[in-house]
Amino acid sequence: MVTLNHYLILSGLLFCVGTAGVFLRRNLITVLLSVEIMLNAVNITFVAAGRYHGSVDGQIITFFVMTVAAAEAAVGLALVIALFRHRETLSPDAFTSLKW
């Protein structure tokens, strides 16, 4: 029997994987992918909770999140390309010229 807790654990694990990716990877594209993993982990929580409460709200929110994620990915990848053209690198540590 798959209960709500199983979904939440899965979601939590996925979120941790995504978070670890954001913190640890040295490639901006991978960081963006990790953010997508985190978003989808949250989506799972929403859908599971919606199903558990017998409402469609969770699914609706998920669609919103997916839409926003798609837009974010488009903008984010465009920025990554632009950054790469400037610096020939995708390491997040290379872009510190606005720091104090």
Partner 1 sequence: MVALIPLLPFLGFLINASVGRRVSKSVSGAVACLLMIGAFGASVTAVLAAHNAPGRFIQETVFRWISSGDLQIPLAFRVDPLSSLMILVVTGIGSLIHIYSTAYMHEETDAEFARYFSYLNLFAAFMLVLVLGSSFPVMFVGWEGVGLCSYLLIGFWFRKQSAADAGKKAFVVNRIGDFGFILGMFLIFVTFHTLDFQEVAWRVSTWAPEIAVGPATIATLLLFLGATGKSAQIPLYVWLPDAMEGPTPVSALIHAATMVTAGVYMIGRNAVLFQHAPITLAVVAGIGIATALMAGTIGLVQNDIKRVLAYSTVSQLGYMFLAMGVGAYTAGIFHLYTHAFFKALLFLGSGAVIHALAGEQDLRNMGGLRKALPITYWTFLIGALAIAGIPPLAGFFSKDEILFRTFAHGNRIMWIVGLLTSFLTATYMFRLVFLAFHGDRRHPEHPAHDAHPAPDAHPAPDAHLHDAPPAMAIVLIVLAIGSIVAGFVGWPHAIGGANRIERFLEPSFEAHQMAPGEFQVIEGRASRQPRVELAAGVEPAVPGSQAVDERREIELMLLSVGIAVAGILVAMAFWLRNRAAATRVAYRAAPIYTLLLNKYYVDELYDATVVQPIKKLSTLLLWRGIDAALIDGAVNGVGGAVRGTSAALRRLQTGSIRAYAASLFLGVVVILGWYLMR
- Interacting stretch for partner 1, rule CB under 8 A, among 3-11, 53-61, 72-80, 89-97? 89-97
Cα distance between residue 95 and residue 48, in whole Å: 39
> Could you tell me if 62 and 46 are in contact, meaning their C-beta atoms sit under 8 angstroms apart?
yes
Q: Which of residues 54-83 bind partner 1 (CB under 8 A)?
A: none
Measured between its terminal Cα atoms, the distance across the chain in Å is: 55
Q: Does 86 bind partner 1 (CB under 8 A)?
A: no
Tell me how many residues contact partner 1 (CB under 8 A): 12
Instruction: Tell me the backbone φ, ψ of residue 11, rounded to 5 degrees.
Output: -60, -45
Nearer to partner 1, 50 or 92 (CB): 92
Q: Does 19 bind partner 1 (CB under 8 A)?
A: yes
Which of 18, 28, 17 has the alpha carbon at shortest distance from 93?
28
Which residues make up the interface to partner 1 (CB under 8 A)?
19, 22-23, 31, 92-93, 95-100
